[in-house]
Amino acid sequence: MSESSRELHVDLGDRSYPIIIGQGLLGRQDLSVFVPGERVLIVTNETLAPLYLDRVAGNFPGKQVDHVILPDGERFKNWETLNLVFDALLEQRHTRKTTLVALGGGVIGDMTGFAAASYQRGVNFIQIPTTLLSQVDSSVGGKTGINHPRGKNMIGAFHQPQAVMIDTDTLSTLPENELAAGLAEVIKYGLIRDIEFLEWLERTIDRLNGKDDELLAEAIYRSCECKADVVAVDEREGGLRAILNLGHTFGHAIETHTGYGSWLHGEAVGTGMLMAADLSMRSGYITADDVARTRQLLERAKLPLIPPSGMTPDHFMELMAVDKKNVDGALRLVLLESLGEAVVTSSFRTENLHETLAHFCH
């Protein structure tokens, strides 16, 4: 680990792995220790390849480094694009000892992880996330997968990486809407588990919007720390881990309805978290002031606060019915018992849910 980086661990016994966070790590941090064989395949997209591909090859001294470049965008998170990774692996005769490297945002990370889980029944992979959202959420925890026209991330596998390396320098060129999308997931950790972190975000959100390097690094560290703690307790989402999906049931419905890529994942989750807060209030958990406080922070993070025009309560109900958290046909949602504490429950009144949907759908 370099002097300018910090490290924390996801504790999963013999499958534990480090999360390395710092500036200037691309091309400098030696990751070859996490590569048991001699070959590496970097999976990235056409936007990031010119920026980072050559540098990342330098993270694997002494290894043979190949690459495959995929089209960029959530709409390409499908079987057809995934097959491009398998084509490269087979054409270049990669074996079970190869290591895949995900260089990109959540789409690249999810697809690379799924390819690694599937190729020859499982090979190693490393996450090098380049967006704030992927750095604080999708790169940690081993969830991999692709989208289906009827549902987001409905096809995939749990497959933990060997390591996660986060170079905060990649955020310097991140568009404003991508930064906001990442901040939605950062805010989520404060809402579900850490009221002190939520209060810290309320004090620093404007400087985070301005890409303050030191504050972004701290936000990433604390977010990853929270997720690592949850994943260590519940790797496969049998209980506690489901709280990480605050706002996601509403958000995934928005993404599926609009067509993947029209709304960024974090934008949809931001709106979904506000909807979940509203339902939490109607269910008697939190106060109207708590909802207003949540709304203000999301607004200051430059996130959308209402679903897309034309999306109706019926659209939401139809799409939420296929959510992965549902059990035996019962809709389960993550609600806020208080700011800083979440619960996964199906014990909410249907009329309260309809009132929330009617309030937000215009």
Task: Give the catalytic positions in this structure.
Answer: 121, 143, 185, 227, 237, 241, 245, 248, 252, 265
Q: What is the 3-state secondary structure (H, E, C) of 249-314?
A: HHHHHHHHHHCCCCCCHHHHHHHHHHHHHHHHHHCCCCCHHHHHHHHHHHHHCCCCCCCCCCCCHH
- Inter-helix orientation angle 313-320/248-258, to 10°: 110
Asked if 232 contacts 258 with a C-beta cutoff of 8 angstroms, the reply is: no
User: 47: which 2 tokens?
Assistant: 């936007």
Q: Please list, in sequence order, all residues whose beta carbon lies within 8 angstroms of the beta carbon of residue 163, skipping any fewer than 6 positions away.
A: 17, 18, 19, 20, 31, 34, 126, 127
Buried b / exposed e over 34-54, threshold 16 CB at 10 Å, is bbeeebbbbbbbeebbeebbe
Tokens in use for 302? 């430059």
- Range list of H helices, 33-175: 54-57, 79-91, 106-118, 132-133
Cβ neighbors of 277 (< 8 A, separation 6 or more) are: 191, 286, 290, 291, 294, 295, 336
Residue 91: CB atoms within 10 A of its CB come to 10
* C-alpha to C-alpha distance for 207 and 221, rounded to whole angstroms: 16
171 burial via Cβ count (<10 Å: 0-12, 13-18, 19+): buried
How far from each other are the two terminal CA atoms of the chain, in whole angstroms?
A: 51
Closest CA to 352 of 268, 283, 252: 283
